[in-house]
Chains A and B, each alone.
Chain A
Amino acid sequence: MKYSVEELVQRLIKGDKFAIARLISLAENDMSLAQKIISLIYPYTGKAHVIGITGPPGSGKSTLVYKLTKEWRKRGKTVGIVAVDPTSPFTGGALLGDRIRMQELTGDDGVFIRSMATRGSLGGLARATKDVVRILDASGKDIIIVETVGAGQSEINIIKIAHTILVVLCPGLGDEIQTLKAGIMEIGDIFVVNKADREGADETAMQIEDMLNMSSTFRPNEVGWIPPVVKTSAIYNVGISELVDKVEEHWRFLNKMGNEVYFRRRVEQDIFEALRDKIEQKILYNLKKTGKYDQLAEKVAMKEIDPYTAADIILNNVIRFKDEWTEENE
């Protein structure tokens, strides 16, 4: 089955599953194809509410995603799920099993689930995940859930794609809550204590509230939103409806009058990240190919020049501001 990108995009916007899957693969594997795809589908994006779900392993995220999806389906929404798993670092292969928890949803036409692996660089994964989210968005999904395993810095970069970020913890983590401080407490919009049927659920909830009270840096674009702590027991369907309500509440908060600044900031961030990727892609790649990067690195290593000077040298050689601003692609 050979379809052109344009044909696939036409089918995509009608919600065709095969098109969604194939476009995601094309975008994952080829950056220039990805750009072409995004340029075609971008006008159709921007309607979906993107939710990020992160947290330490063992907190029951996959089951939570499954139950949340079921609840959203009950409320008549269509859902796209991106389950992001780390790659085995040595061999470059990956073993993705998050889907197992959600397999009952396979067969519901209103749900699309895709597993993603790291593919070598986590920076690359963040970009690829963003493109996958856009593709699902353009296919008409109301809700898109991005679920990452773990809660380290790399996962944080991925999860920032989302509008609403859920940080999922569970009782009995103990000291791990302290180590979660780095970045996670700042980006969480809603904190979930899952497996709340277990002992220590209330204590965990209180610990989180304490930490939130002490931390003064909430998401700067979201003045006025105080992250709530919600207790759930996904396996027993407890707290799911309430959690979905809270997520919807956050979406209304983001969308309310006077908050366009939030969405504008996201667009600016998107451009910045695209620019940064291009620099890496176009400039660095070429410099490395021509050996110039190596030459500069040698000089810096021998302390002949410092890194800032090296950067200036590159920019001087590569960037020239045109007299006239043009939006033609050369």
Chain B
Amino acid sequence: MNKAELEGEVEILTAENAAKDLKLQLAEEIINDLTAEIAGLKVQVAEFGDFVKEVGPKKEAEKPKLIEPFEVDGKIIKIKRAAFIFEGQRVTAEELKANKEMIEKLLKIGSGVLQIVGE
């Protein structure tokens, strides 16, 4: 490699490095911008979430009612809760009373929402 070729090589290398630096710089700026944006959004969401609550204690009239124990296949079933959530669905005690299959499922998993009286 003669001197002219060497100088050319050096120039190319420098140009490549500059391009790399520029790419890195741009990439860094983009990442920084995105990070700042995400951080900003997160802060907004956090402020929103911390402040605005729409859930509170239920009024007495809104509360579901407990029901009396009843008999299923010779067993007295007591439903201890007026309502509960099972498999993603809200179920009231009245609805459970009418659903023998669900009663069996709940007894099988050892749910605390109902019990067989005397056991």
Chain B associates with chain A: no
Interface residues in chain A, defined as those with a beta carbon under 8 Å from any beta carbon in chain B: none
Interface residues in chain B, defined as those with a beta carbon under 8 Å from any beta carbon in chain A: none
